[in-house]
Chain A
Amino acid sequence: MEEVLFFISALGALGGALGVIAMRNPFYSVLALIVHLFSLASLFLLLTAAFVAAAQVVVYAGAVMVLYVFVVAYVGGGGESAWEPIPFQRLLAPLLGIALFVELSVAVLSSSLLALGEDGPDVQAGFGDPAAIGRLLLEKFLIPFEAASILLLLAAVGAIVLASNRRQSEEAR
């Protein structure tokens, strides 16, 4: 049962990822990314990471993707030019991607991590649920948590500064 769920989710995740890079229209790329994110959330559930899966669906597939859809609708999907500054880039890129995959797989699978071939230890019922993650975040990882909140604030301010229509407001003055 677990294997079946894993392969269905893996196919969804891989299909979504390939859809993102293959679709001509950026709008369809965003939709493919949503498929990818939902499959990834089910993989997280298989790994008993309930809170990460919920955050993935709510934050990523919900909020971030809505932001993407709005910007794609505002900017519009322009066609990509056929001009290539580096010759044969479209042919070389897949080769490089395959080489990267082989390299990463060999590096991980030939490492001395003996537990890689096992299912992992049995964990108690509360593993990865919101209570456990919240306790870790507010006790052991309090400083990274606060740093993340400052980073979010800075990103919000930065985005407002970047996207504000400064030229028009100067003309109006």
Chain B
Amino acid sequence: MNTEWFIVLSALLFATGAMGILIRRSPMVILLCLELMLNAGNLALVAFSRMVGNGQGQVFAVIVMVVAACEVVVGLGLIVAIFRRRLPLNVDDLRELRG
């Protein structure tokens, strides 16, 4: 398979994730859409690694996976904290920090 196909698919998945972040209101689904975008980046990294014939891009993808796991843990901790304080789980209602 040409590398082009993988790169275009990764761009498509990234755009889908970005669209989801703009459309959805629940913080949980926004975190899921962040996962989509990170995974699209991973796919591009691995495809370029195959294109160059060098394994270093795959190490980069593994590190991205670690960072994504950290982001999930902190994000879900925030969601649980919001839920415990009886605040609405909706990013449009949580707007006290907006100027």
A100, chain B: closest CB distance, angstroms: 4
Question: Are A59 and B3 interface neighbours, CB within 8 A?
Answer: no
How far does the alpha carbon of A73 sit from the alpha carbon of B30 in the complex, in Å? 17
Residues of A within 8 A of B (CB): 2-3, 6, 10, 13-14, 17-18, 20-21, 26, 29-30, 33, 36-37, 40, 43-44, 46-49, 51-52, 55-56, 59-60, 63-64, 67-68, 71-72, 74-75, 77-78, 80-81, 83-85, 89-90, 92-94, 96-98, 100-101, 104-105, 108-109, 113, 115-121, 123, 127-128, 132-133, 136-137, 140-141, 144-145, 148, 151-152, 154-156, 158-163, 165, 167
Question: Are B16 and A97 interface neighbours, CB within 8 A?
Answer: yes
Question: Are B67 and A151 interface neighbours, CB within 8 A?
Answer: yes
A71, chain B: closest CB distance, angstroms: 5
Taking A78-B89, A84-B92, A121-B53 as known contacts, 9 extra A-B pairs with beta carbons closer than 8 A to each other, sorted by chain A number, are: A20-B29, A64-B72, A68-B32, A78-B90, A97-B16, A128-B58, A132-B55, A141-B56, A152-B70
Residue from A3, A20, A44, A60 within 8 A of B20 (CB atoms): A20
A168, chain B: closest CB distance, angstroms: 9
Question: Are B58 and A133 interface neighbours, CB within 8 A?
Answer: yes
Question: Are B15 and A71 interface neighbours, CB within 8 A?
Answer: no
Flag B22-54 by CB within 8 Å of A: 1 or 0 each: 111110110111011001001100110111110
How far does the alpha carbon of A120 sit from the alpha carbon of B47 in the complex, in Å? 9
Question: Are B2 and A165 interface neighbours, CB within 8 A?
Answer: no
Question: Are A151 and B19 interface neighbours, CB within 8 A?
Answer: no
How far does the alpha carbon of A83 sit from the alpha carbon of B28 in the complex, in Å? 18
Question: Are B20 and A21 interface neighbours, CB within 8 A?
Answer: yes
Residues of B within 8 A of A (CB): 1-9, 11-20, 22-26, 28-29, 31-33, 35-36, 39, 42-43, 46-47, 49-53, 55-56, 58-59, 61-63, 65-74, 76-81, 83-85, 88-90, 92-93, 95
How far does the alpha carbon of A81 sit from the alpha carbon of B9 in the complex, in Å? 32
How far does the alpha carbon of A126 sit from the alpha carbon of B19 in the complex, in Å? 38
Query: Which of A26, A47, A121, A160 neighbours the largest number of chain B CB atoms within 10 Å of its CB?
Result: A47
Nearest-CB residue, chain B, relative to A129: B55
